Structure 1
Amino acid sequence: MHRRRHKAKNPKILIVTPEITYLPQKMAGTAGNLSAKAGGLADVSASLVSALFEMGADIHVAMPYYRRIFKLDVPDHVEKKRENLENHLSRERIHFAQDRIFFYRDRVYSGYHGESMRISLAFQREVINNIIPNLQPDLVHCNDWMTGLIPSFARRMKIPSLFTVHNIHTQKTTLETIENSGIDAASFWKNIYFERAPFNYEESRSSNLADLLTSGIFAAHFINTVS
């Protein structure tokens, strides 16, 4: 009697990164020309995505939609190109976090603490509220403090997550600020790492700072570093 062999499922992997040097040309056509780099994270993300894609993995990328950095700004002569790209990518593997805070930036990060936090929360809001629920990945791979809340959400959704630490820089904020950005942190606040042990949600919401990098490490199922 012969047993029927079932082909193993190819897991759907979502890589969440605020920057990337390049994307494989075959992965999303014209998206291969898109690049947003500030440091080594962009190179590591690009190499990982490329290697996994070439191996045949069901790989997806979530990143902010930097229109100006991608040279897809608002002038009329590129408007049609931008619309065509957005329509194409909606059916592909590149998932852009859409928010005006990304559209007109000249560089990935800001030198101002408050603006960097707003950029991070806008990015994570789109990943948490839209990209992950729509994509339903089998694994979420997050990178550095700008994605530090996503493993907390993924754990609540019972989705395994990997968190990669590229450097020890972090930022801290309150649950109140996180929720005011549009993220329902009340649903996964117990997976977030705070400066002090929280007594309860209400007590911690406005005064107990959440550490984004440490939250990613705290909530992720797997952790690694690049060195």
Structure 2
Amino acid sequence: MNIFFVSSEVNPFVKVGGLADVAGALPKALSKLGCSVSVVMPGYRQIDFQGKSPSKFQKVLDVPLGYGNETADVDKLSLMKGLDLYLINNGAYFQRESPYDFPDDKRRFIFFSRASYELARILQPDIIHCNDWHTAIIPGYVRYFWDKEPVGTLFSIHNLAYQGVCDRDMFLYSSLPESAFNPEEVEYYGKFNIMKAGIVYSDMINTVSPTYAEEIKTPEFGCGLDGLLKKRSDALVGILNGIDEDEFNPGNDKYLPIKFTLDTIDKKEDVKKFLLEKLGLSYHKGAPLLSFIGRLWDQKGIDILVQAIPELMDKDVYMIILGTGSEYYHKTLEQMREAYPGKISINLKFDNELAHLIYGGSDFFLMPSKFEPCGLGQMIAMKYGTIPVVRGVGGLKDTVKEGETGFVFFDYTYTALLESIDRALNLYWNDRDGFYNMRKRVMLEDHSWDSSAKKYMELYSKILDLKRGV
């Protein structure tokens, strides 16, 4: 089966968020199952080619769009047997100081999507797999313009909150036919909703956890598209993401000063000591370490975590926070660093090495998310024997079981968060055998991509059967 996998970011080449982890790991797992996978991404300035050199695949790729014909060129990099990376190059759109957050992002990714579609016409895959709003228009191009052998389309929603809504002039630029601008297709209250195109035109749709697939059909989580998603519920499924166990493995993690496995779990305390001292916190035995890694936005629950910190700092605990986001939370957390010296480490940056150390050295990992399509942090934490404390939404609800593989709360309040942390601390201080048994259980959880990739294979086969009328 030939899969054409399109994403705006791919780990380890360019990573901004969790989408990159999926786009880096799932195609690799699919190729191991015998698929031939072509991964397509923009040719950003920031790409780390991992010591390899791409070759020129297409010197001039015509990209017909509403304001006239544009062009790209395409590079190709072979990654392993059955897995190739294609880069859509256009200096004006992609040779910038960062991948995202420009006023013309909608135009940039419409261009990328149309260029990817034109590349797919050359490669003629069996399945085109699109991810999030950046590539959601591609199934529309397939619906209206595809004239090759039938091809199936899958649209993956990683985060419904970001939909690529823009003015009608971007619809004209997209080159979709004028008739498509109606409420049943891509119009959204007079605007052009790019993600809506992926939901309307794809053969199948998936989200990144079974619970999130149900949640987005409700007004609370549907972000204005719950009615459409309910309408297409027969084509909507949830498949949990996995983690790349080649990258996240405490037994061979290059960033850990001391490696450990399930059989040598006691060495995890040495990683904790190293981590605390590296960050200027004085280690003492018996004080648990709580950690948070993520964007400092309300979606991730940072608002209720900030409210909970003063009460947590009254206890014999350490806390480490790593991430960037809202300037308000930057300032608030810096004030807390000043208020609780020696107790809390605030790291307002993205730092992959430090993230690995935090996963490896922490006792508890906090994910108090307002909503969470899947979440990778809790799965990575478990792999390192770090027990998650999460809000029971989306993929967090699917992967963490209260009292078995972590601690779960439901009300979106700081008091509910504190109560769940108190349950975790009670286990740590008053039931050491129970704590170590839970630590071992979470390490044994299987969150590899193997089982998830097989579910995607089944979904691809279902799509092809639909196209063939089976």
TM-score by length of 1: 0.69
For 2:171 and 2:96, how far apart are their aligned partners in 1?
22
- Equivalent residue for 1:87? 56
Report the alpha carbon displacement of residue 164 of structure 1 after superposing the two structures with TM: 0.5
Deviations 1:115-167 (A, max 9, x none): 22122112112112x21111111100000001111111123324211111011
Deviations 1:11-55 (A, max 9, x none): 211000000113xxxxxxxxxxxx111100000111101101122
- Equivalent residue for 2:290? none
Report the alpha carbon displacement of residue 95 of structure 1 after superposing the two structures with TM: 2.0
- Equivalent residue for 2:139? 151
Q: 2:188 matched to 1:161?
A: no
- Equivalent residue for 1:37? 15
Report the alpha carbon displacement of residue 176 of structure 1 after superposing the two structures with TM: 3.8
Give the counterpart of 1:70 among 47, 54, 76: 47
Give the aligned CA root-mean-square deviation in angstroms. 2.7
Report the alpha carbon displacement of residue 87 of structure 1 after superposing the two structures with TM: 2.7
Q: 2:123 matched to 1:132?
A: no
Distance 1:60 1:108, change over 3 A: same
- Equivalent residue for 2:202? 220
- Equivalent residue for 1:205? none
The equivalences for 1:91-130 within 5 A come to 93-110=84-101, 112=102, 114-128=103-117, 130=118
Q: 2:154 matched to 1:185?
A: no
Asked whether the equivalents of residues 77 and 86 of structure 2 are also in contact (C-alpha less than 8 Å), the reply is no
Asked whether the equivalents of residues 54 and 77 of structure 2 are also in contact (C-alpha less than 8 Å), the reply is no
For 2:141 and 2:179, how far apart are their aligned partners in 1?
6
For 1:19 and 1:12, how far apart are their aligned partners in 2?
20
Q: 2:9 matched to 1:19?
A: yes
Any idea what SS the aligned residue of 1:87 has?
strand
For 2:110 and 2:24, how far apart are their aligned partners in 1?
23
The residue type equivalent to 1:218 in the other structure is V
| Greater Cα radius of gyration, structure 1 or 2 | 2
Gaps of at least 5 residues in structure 2 are 58-74, 79-83, 210-470
Asked whether the equivalents of residues 128 and 152 of structure 2 are also in contact (C-alpha less than 8 Å), the reply is yes
Distance 1:91 1:44, change over 3 A: closer
Asked whether the equivalents of residues 155 and 161 of structure 1 are also in contact (C-alpha less than 8 Å), the reply is no
The residue type equivalent to 2:187 in the other structure is F
The residue type equivalent to 2:99 in the other structure is V
Distance 1:166 1:91, change over 3 A: closer
The residue type equivalent to 1:226 in the other structure is V
Q: 2:192 matched to 1:210?
A: yes
For 2:43 and 2:105, how far apart are their aligned partners in 1?
15
Distance 1:36 1:150, change over 3 A: same
The residue type equivalent to 2:32 in the other structure is E
Give the counterpart of 1:173 among 161, 166, 178: 166
The residue type equivalent to 2:88 in the other structure is A
Asked whether the equivalents of residues 172 and 211 of structure 1 are also in contact (C-alpha less than 8 Å), the reply is yes
Asked whether the equivalents of residues 99 and 122 of structure 1 are also in contact (C-alpha less than 8 Å), the reply is no
Q: What percent of counterpart residues are identical?
A: 27
For 2:179 and 2:138, how far apart are their aligned partners in 1?
10
The count of aligned residue pairs is: 179
Any idea what SS the aligned residue of 1:185 has?
coil
For 1:90 and 1:188, how far apart are their aligned partners in 2?
36
Asked whether the equivalents of residues 153 and 188 of structure 1 are also in contact (C-alpha less than 8 Å), the reply is no
The residue type equivalent to 1:224 in the other structure is N
Determine which structure has greater relative contact order: mean sequence separation of CA pairs < 8 Å that are 6+ residues apart, divided by chain length. Answer: 1
Report the alpha carbon displacement of residue 175 of structure 1 after superposing the two structures with TM: 5.3
For 1:174 and 1:136, how far apart are their aligned partners in 2?
32
For 2:22 and 2:77, how far apart are their aligned partners in 1?
25
For 1:189 and 1:225, how far apart are their aligned partners in 2?
25
Give the counterpart of 1:195 among 153, 166, 188: 188
Q: 2:129 matched to 1:141?
A: yes
Distance 1:127 1:216, change over 3 A: same
Distance 1:188 1:47, change over 3 A: farther
Asked whether the equivalents of residues 162 and 220 of structure 1 are also in contact (C-alpha less than 8 Å), the reply is yes
TM-score by length of 2: 0.35
Any idea what SS the aligned residue of 1:14 has?
strand
The residue type equivalent to 1:87 in the other structure is K
